[in-house]
Amino acid sequence: MNEYDSDRIKNAIDAEPTDDPKKADIIIVNTCAIREKADQKAFSSLGKYKSIKTNNPDTIVGISGCVAQLYGNKLLKKIPHLDFVLGTRAIPKLPEIISKIERDKRRTVETSYDLEELFDVEPYHKEGRVTAFVSVQQGCNKRCSYCIVPQVRGDEVNRPLNDILKETTNLVNKGVREITFIGQTVNSWKENGYKFGDLIRAAGDIEDLERIRFTTSYPRDITKRMIDAMKDVPQVCHHLHLPVQSGSNTVLSNMKRTYTREWYVDTILRLKDAVPDITISTDIIIGFPGETHQDFEETMSLMKEIEFESSYSFKFSPRPGTVAAEYAEEKTVQADIASARLSELQAFQKDITESKNLSRVGHIEEVLVEGESRNDPDFFSGRTDHNRILNFKGTKDLVGKTVKVKVTEGLLNSLRGELVV
Ligand code: SAM
């Protein structure tokens, strides 16, 4: 989501990106407030640009995203070298804000939610890129007790079907072959009687679109209509990111996740029934207030039962204004206990991911080639249908093509292989 917003920001002001902040006319720190660590990172990044502003007062320094939305005006008071604060829904207003600052040298805060042009600015698209995100939804209507998203991104707003298809088609015409639809709870998307399954089917009709992914799905919004579409539309990749957060029903209920462990497991079975080779990844929060040893054991038993392809796991972080932050005061899980649980879970996941990657050795995978591998220019990189990164020796002309690669090595974070000719 943040990467997508950063690309929209680049496009909104028609910016030429630079890696050297000293050469920049405008520096914008796009932020995330999901966990305290991310929010502190935003402040330390801004601190780094103080000397640039001191040496060149004409450089415009701004903050955007969730931290900007959360603290608004307070940021201008706290950070004297900051010129503007741009809320999560205000990207279309950016050109106006910049010209106002250039003209009047007036510091500005724009965090209003009632902007009609919410989806107006499409993201910057780097020529030659073969994958792209398309936003289908902003904000969130769920009220998970730990989550700051509804506060900093507002209620759910679904983008009209035709706009989504138009942006997707434009990207495909520019050479994109894989689209990832994004939304906080992407599969709750609905518009004018259409549901998420209908969106997938409609996207499946776009000529030359080879792959469709979407994230993040909310377990309770997985419907038969969606599963049927995933089964029927051949472009849909066989991987789903489905955050479960905990394996304990007590914790799930305190998190206000609206499903039980049994319901989640049954949903996975339904998905596997329809798409037998589907791989599932997840998010887990460890040390949610009141999490007992037994609750944690239930999370571990779920990890063992499902054997997720991969998982992102986080220590609970109390966020201002959330319900969980209030009861965290009485029921905090001691930091050392939470750390030990997190390490245990991550060690388990590492073994599972590694063995799943190893089990691919000898298989032939279809890979959409995205570009040169980061570490070696002779190697090219892409993802398999199941979302595994696969590196192999190749040539530049393969970028954008779907090729067959035989897996020769399974590593922790990727696969290696040889092109099948
Ligand atoms: N909208 C997505 C959903 O509901 O699954 C979540 C997006 S959030 C950016 C990604 C992950 O951050 C969540 O799935 C959750 O595991 C984690 N997260 C959110 N709030 C958190 C908090 N207060 N403390 C720790 N982890 C948190």
Task: Report pLDDT for 369.
Answer: 97
* Whether residue 280 has its Cβ less than 6 Å from ligand 1: no
Beta bridge partners of 338: none
- Assign 121 a pLDDT band (cuts: 50, 70, 90): confident
Q: Please say if the pLDDT value at position 374 is more than 90.
A: no
* Whether residue 283 has its Cβ less than 6 Å from ligand 1: yes
Token pair of 186 as six digits? 């992407």
For residue 132, with 0-12 CB atoms within 10 Å meaning exposed, 13-18 middle and 19 or more buried, which class applies?
A: buried
Cα 152–Cα 74–Cα 33 angle in degrees, nearest 5? 30
Task: Report pLDDT for 122.
Answer: 83
Task: Report pLDDT for 1.
Answer: 79
Mean predicted confidence (pLDDT) in 406-411: 97
* Whether residue 333 has its Cβ less than 6 Å from ligand 1: no
Q: Please say if the pLDDT value at position 115 is more than 80.
A: no
Token pair of 154 as six digits? 């507002």
Q: Please say if the pLDDT value at position 116 is more than 80.
A: no
Q: Please say if the pLDDT value at position 61 is more than 90.
A: yes
Mean predicted confidence (pLDDT) in 39-67: 92
Percentage, residues of the chain above pLDDT 90? 88
- Assign 172 a pLDDT band (cuts: 50, 70, 90): very high
* Whether residue 316 has its Cβ less than 6 Å from ligand 1: yes
Task: Report pLDDT for 324.
Answer: 96
Mean predicted confidence (pLDDT) in 15-26: 91
Task: Report pLDDT for 23.
Answer: 93
Mean predicted confidence (pLDDT) in 294-320: 97
Task: Report pLDDT for 330.
Answer: 81
Mean predicted confidence (pLDDT) in 87-96: 93
Helical residues (DSSP H) of 174-210, grouped into ranges: 196-204
Q: What is the dihedral of CA 337, 338, 340, 343, to 10 degrees?
A: 180
Residue nearest to atom 2 of ligand 1 (CA): 184
Q: Please say if the pLDDT value at position 49 is more than 70.
A: yes
Task: Report pLDDT for 208.
Answer: 97
C-beta separation of 62 from 29 below 8 A: yes
C-beta separation of 347 from 353 below 8 A: no
Percentage, residues of the chain above pLDDT 70? 100
Q: Please say if the pLDDT value at position 69 is more than 80.
A: yes
Mean predicted confidence (pLDDT) in 254-263: 98
Token pair of 71 as six digits? 């603290």
Candidate from 5, 37, 147, 153 with most ligand 1 atoms within 8 A of CB, to mutate: 147
Mean predicted confidence (pLDDT) in 230-240: 98
Residue nearest to atom 18 of ligand 1 (CA): 34
Average per-residue pLDDT in the chain?
Answer: 95
Mean predicted confidence (pLDDT) in 14-26: 91
168-177, 203-212, 224-233, 323-332, range with the lowest pLDDT: 323-332
